[in-house]
Chains A and B, each alone.
Chain A
Amino acid sequence: MATWDWQVFCRDTVTSEQQSGCFGQGGDITYLDWMLSAWGWTLSVAALALVVALVVGSLVGIARTTPSRAAVFLGNAWTELFRNIPLLVQIFLWYHVIPSLITPLREVPSFVLVVLALGFFTSARISEQVKAGIQSIPRGQLHAGLAMGLSLPQTYRYVLLPVAFRVVIPPLTSESMNIVKNSSVAFAVSIAELTLFALQAQEETSRGIEIYLAVTGAYFVSAFAVNRVALFIEQRVQIPGTLGAAQ
């Protein structure tokens, strides 16, 4: 195998000349600049999709535990629909199919469409966990809330959800790490994120191993950072007196 050539990251993306200082000057960019911006896109897609997934997934998960049969049915249908179609197919659906059927969506940038696709895909998984979290709370808590005169939404807001959300933090952590990994599928619709950078830079420079190692490292660091943040949140919101609180 050939020797390492990490200098590839200091090359100009147009002229292939080495740039001193590794960053492009005056409008030109090096491969390092390109990779950092791609990393930014990966993190933006993942972060925004996570927000969508958490909001939608929580609502769907809550709906699936309510006494309303219609809400349960709709929640189940949502979860089955988004769980049983491959993510890549869903992304193609949002990118190629939906804008041509619903014409106003043609103006929407593809970045937003990918965020929605990844967010809804993940919302199905999050709804499962939120549902399981709510169902793990003894039914007596619900009845106690109702018996005290709280309405059903109030019982959810003040009794069930504060506990349920703490219970589901560990599975939500791994879902958050998955969303960083799954954002790589966005390369298929030309979002300038890390995987697309890896594919294109590898082709242009023929230094595939260095490029792939750097990109893989970036994914590692991102997922690890998500893990640390989630652990911090988990410890901050720990219910005193429960198992795992004492550390």
Chain B
Amino acid sequence: MTLDFTFLTWQLLSSYVLKGLIFSIQLTLVAMIGGIALGTVIALMRLSGKPWLAAPAAAYVNTLRSIPLVMVILWFFLLIPLITGKPLGAEWSAVITFTVFEAAYYSEIMRAGIQSVPRGQVHAGYAVGMSYGQTMQLIVLPQAFRNMLPVLLTQTIILFQDTSLVYAIGAYDLLKGFEVAGKNFNRPVETYLVATLVYFVICFSLSMLVRRLQKRIQIIR
């Protein structure tokens, strides 16, 4: 068969694809910010040394990390309406799912980051009279965050790729936008090819940026 891309106009892209692209980016950003915040709390719980805090945090992380993301998406889509009593759209369900799911992965990164900070830093914080909260907030977490920035961003690129899995519950994301356009114009092969290109360009340029950032951080250290 011959490929024909002429039907792909800016007008078509903005009416089918733009909406999906915006949702994919929104989902990535919300899940990244929420996931890092929740993940940091979970990491602090795991490192607190108190079993009643560490055990549930470890269970949370290990459970979510052993279930396929698609199943997690399906679980939340099934459970949220049962708990709240009213149906929640696929888009909102996806936002909650990805925040909760990614928190498990971000928390492992933050845990490694916190553990990479020398113990002397904590002692120094206590020695100048800081509380646990102040030591964490002002001394440990800024360093942990900075050391782990490239890894956190790499995880975010993976997160962006994973947002395509909202396909399972029919949310309208970037991939769905291309798919709908392909169905309406009966050109699925071309639209899938362009979708591949768009995902590749976004993810490849982001990973190049992360690599440059990594080099700069290495030099400063």
Name A's B-contacting residues (CB within 8 A): 1, 80-81, 83-90, 92-93, 96-97, 100-101, 177, 180-185, 187-188, 195, 198-199, 202, 208-209, 212, 215-216, 219-220, 223-224
Contacts and interface: CB of A to CB of B under 8 A. Distances in A.
A88 B167 contact: yes
Interface stretch (B45-53, B127-135, B193-201): B193-201
Contact of A202 (B78, B189, B195, B204): B78
Interface residues on B, range: 20 to 34
A180 B68 CA distance: 8
Interface stretch (B86-94, B115-123, B157-165): B157-165
Contacts of B3: 101
Contact of B78 (A96, A101, A208): A208
Contact of A100 (B189, B200, B207): B189
A89 B66 contact: no
Contacts of A184: 68-71
B220 interface: no
Most chain B CB within 10 A, of A92, A93, A195, A198, is at A92
Given A85-B200, A88-B165, A187 B78 contact: no
Contacts of A208: 78
Contact of A88 (B82, B175, B203): B175
Nearest to B190: A97
Given A89-B164, A89-B175, A96 B71 contact: no
A86 B70 contact: no
Given A100-B1, A195-B74, A212-B78, A85 B168 contact: no
Contacts of A96: 188-189, 192
Given A80-B204, A86-B162, A195-B74, A182 B199 contact: no
Q: Dominant SS at the B interface?
A: helix
A93 to B, nearest CB: 6
Given A100-B189, A209-B78, A93 B196 contact: yes
B192 A86 contact: no
B164 A88 contact: yes
Contacts of A209: 78-79
A101 B188 CA distance: 12
A49 to B, nearest CB: 14
B167 A93 contact: no
A187 B200 contact: no
B67 interface: yes
B75 interface: yes
B69 A181 contact: yes
Closest 8 CB pairs of A and B: A184-B68, A84-B203, A86-B161, A181-B68, A86-B164, A84-B204, A184-B70, A88-B164
Contacts of A182: 68
Given A85-B203, A88-B164, A198 B71 contact: yes
Contacts of B68: 180-185, 195, 219
Most chain A CB within 10 A, of B67, B68, B192, B195, is at B68
A96 B167 CA distance: 16
Interface in B106-155: none
B31 to A, nearest CB: 15
Contact of B70 (A84, A89, A100, A185): A185
A231 to B, nearest CB: 16
B165 A185 contact: yes
B198 to A, nearest CB: 9
B196 A219 contact: no
A186 B67 CA distance: 15
